[in-house]
Amino acid sequence: MALRNIRLEDDPILRKKSRKVAEINERIKEVVNDMIETMYEADGVGLAAPQIGILRRIIVMDVGKGPIVLINPVIIKTAGSQIGLEGCLSLPGVNEEVERPNYVQVKYFDLKGRAKVIEGEELLARAICHEIDHLEGILFTDKVKKEII
Ligand code: ZN
């Protein structure tokens, strides 16, 4: 395992769309382990592969119940909404309120290549949406409500 450099806001890779993982091989497993280590070292709740410069559809998260790894995640259902403060390891020092679904259901593959579904509410739903946005080249600051004063 190794720590990876987290790409910061002006890095063009953060604006690119990630490609699906075609095969879960040793290299992908190494990337996942490095992502988890890098996320914990940076004290983050989640990390997406493009944040370490890898344009593959992989996200890792830990909202306090242990690491979650989602490969090729796709949101299949959302419900409700929540507004809360968000931050991002690629945008240090920036916290803004973002509206997200309060519930999401996501299909994905685990590290053994098994098709699975995860449900998330509140913080987990927020984290999943935030990280999946990274796979599309979207940063949370793109979604901040612009209030007219
Ligand atoms: Zn982020």
Catalytic residue chosen out of the listed positions 37, 131, 136, 147: 131
Q: What is the pLDDT of residue 1?
A: 73
Instruction: Give whole-number Cα distances, 114 to 13, 14, 24, 71, 124, in Å.
Output: 29, 28, 10, 10, 21
Q: Is 131 annotated as catalytic?
A: yes
144 pLDDT tier (thresholds 50, 70, 90)? confident
CA of 75 to the centre of ligand 1 (A): 17
* pLDDT tens digit sequence for 51-89: 999 999 999 999 999 999 999 999 999 999 999 999 999
CA distance 64 to 66: 6
CA of 24 to the centre of ligand 1 (A): 23
* pLDDT tens digit sequence for 89-125: 999 999 999 999 999 999 999 999 999 999 999 999 9
pLDDT at 147 over 80: no
* pLDDT tens digit sequence for 8-21: 999 999 999 999 99
Task: Say how many C-beta atoms besides its own lie within 10 A of residue 103's C-beta.
Answer: 17
CA distance 73 to 89: 20
**Phi/psi of residue 144, each to 5°?**
-65, 135
